[in-house]
Structure 1
Amino acid sequence: MKNSKNWLTVAFAVVFLAACGSGQKNEDGQDSTAATDPAAGNDGWVSLFDGQTTNGWHTYLRDTVSAAWTASNGELRFNPDVPREQRGDIVTDGEYENYELELEWQISSGGNSGIIFSVHEVPEFGATYQTGIEMQVLDNIDAGDNKIENHLAGTLYDLIGSTEVSQPKPVGEWNQARIRKNNGQITLWLNDVQTADVTIGTPEWEQVLNASKFKDWEGFAKYPKGKIALQDHGDVVAYRNIRIKEL
């Protein structure tokens, strides 16, 4: 009976190991179960741009993406030479409230653009910036809007920013932008340097808001949940590696 018991033990071990390794392998040799799970191995991050198409985006107050924005070589690029009626800011199809957003941007010489968030897309507001808050994208050296500190690259546009923290890379190089918005607190980073930190509704927020051009704007920063926009400011700009993690 001793041999029979040993045989049963071996047989059980073989079945157990086979069950543990039964996951299908894909062409890369990875477990296909993990590969088909959208949350597996990404720590909650979701891509907002697939690098090849404009899927997931549309031009503000339109159904599709206008011809000025094209996707190729992993970049979402804006061409200002397209007729004006085929231009405009693009926004995400989805809305977000509490999240971290990461992306890279590359601006042309003298260029200006922006990452605008908490955008409330309704016909009553004809532009993304009427409701959305902007992280500035700028060539600090040659852009026309480089004379005001809180208009520089990486700043919370017309609200918070300084020359000390605005440290964009030279034109033609990629900059890393990060936006964290959580329960009204907005924190920005450009190339790993924090450029702004403020919480909507606090005395500090009211102070910077009242000192800005947005002081009397009816819809500005009034909507906690909204879309994310990439701005058509009339200059060549490109974005890539756009991803979000909801908090």
Structure 2
Amino acid sequence: MPSSPLRTLSVAALLATTTGALAEDTIHNRLSEAEERSGWSLLFNGQDLGGWTGYHPDTPPKDWTIDDGTLHFPGEGGNGSGQDLITEDAYENYELSLDWKVAEGGNSGIFYLVTPGHDAIYWGAPEMQVLDDANHRDGGDPLTSAGSAYALYPAPRGVAKPAGEWNTARIRIDDGQVTHWLNGEKIVEYQLGSDEWQAAVDASKFADWEYYGQAERGHIGLQDHGDPVWFRNIKIREFE
């Protein structure tokens, strides 16, 4: 007996829903075959904090949770609370790719070339700013808006998506040449240790911080700034 139009429509709708759910699950925290062939590896599996630790070894990052396949900080700590996350491994030349979103007014950051042992993660490590530009005071200044090399190199306007929406960030470090991309657009580029870099540091709050930006190799860090933030699809590709 031929299927009724209603039954056919219902089955089609169910298949579309199921296929969409599978596609969504496949996309996040997975590597494609092309990525695997290109040398990418996952830093976050979507299930636990394996491969990550607290910046301060004696202060476990207890408030970070796994929320629907995302690495989530709920905003119950605060800047300097000791709940910044870092990778267990250190890296030198690589590309890092990840997605992030913040709650309204939210602030966080992605640190690179992190060196443990300082009172705070930002004493030594440069930062790609993670921010709700529209609702946080730092969003009014390109030097501290989303995607910037925080307080050193500005990000262009209109690239970051609003609070609650996912942004895709990419950071490349190649013999000290640092490049930031946000949502597919190259927004920051600089050379660590150059005269231009030193001038930017000297004009910033980092001027008197002896170890700031000096490391050639370091960990990757995610910041607890006291606001809700989510990360997913955290991937890295190392190269010579």
TM-score by structure 1 length?
0.78
How many residue pairs match? The answer is 207
Unaligned runs of at least 5 residues, structure 2: 1-32
Q: Which amino acid aligns with 2:112?
A: F
Displacement of 1:167 after TM fit? 1.3
Counterparts of 1:46 and 1:233, CA distance in 2: 27
Counterparts of 1:84 and 1:134, CA distance in 2: 14
Show the counterpart of 2:232.
240
Counterparts of 2:196 and 2:77, CA distance in 1: 41
Q: Deviations over 1:64-109 (max 9, x none)?
A: 7422101132200001226999861010000001100000001110
Q: Deviations over 1:200-242 (max 9, x none)?
A: 1222212222222111211100111111100000000000000
Aligned 1:25-36 pairs, distance under 5 A: none
Pairing 1:182–2:177 present? no
Show the counterpart of 1:26.
none
Show the counterpart of 1:33.
none
Show the counterpart of 2:128.
135
8 Å CA contact 2:77–2:225 kept in 1: the answer is no
Pairing 1:47–2:39 present? no
8 Å CA contact 1:78–1:236 kept in 2: the answer is yes
Distance 1:42 1:84, change over 3 A: same
Counterparts of 2:183 and 2:35, CA distance in 1: 27
Pairing 1:154–2:147 present? yes
Pick from 73, 79, 89 the counterpart of residue 78 of structure 1: 73
Counterparts of 2:99 and 2:213, CA distance in 1: 24
Displacement of 1:40 after TM fit? 8.7
Counterparts of 2:200 and 2:78, CA distance in 1: 37
Secondary structure at the counterpart of residue 145 of structure 1: helix
Q: Which amino acid aligns with 1:146?
A: G
Secondary structure at the counterpart of residue 209 of structure 1: helix
Counterparts of 2:83 and 2:222, CA distance in 1: 9
State the superposition RMSD in angstroms. 2.2
Pairing 1:220–2:212 present? yes
Counterparts of 2:159 and 2:226, CA distance in 1: 23
Counterparts of 2:127 and 2:54, CA distance in 1: 17
Q: Deviations over 1:1-25 (max 9, x none)?
A: xxxxxxxxxxxxxxxxxxxxxxxxx
8 Å CA contact 1:51–1:74 kept in 2: the answer is yes
Q: Deviations over 1:140-196 (max 9, x none)?
A: 0001222321100001100101443x5111211100000000101000001111111
Show the counterpart of 1:14.
none
Show the counterpart of 1:110.
105
Distance 1:85 1:206, change over 3 A: closer
Larger radius of gyration: 1
Q: Deviations over 1:10-61 (max 9, x none)?
A: xxxxxxxxxxxxxxxxxxxxxxxxxxxx999441101000000001001112
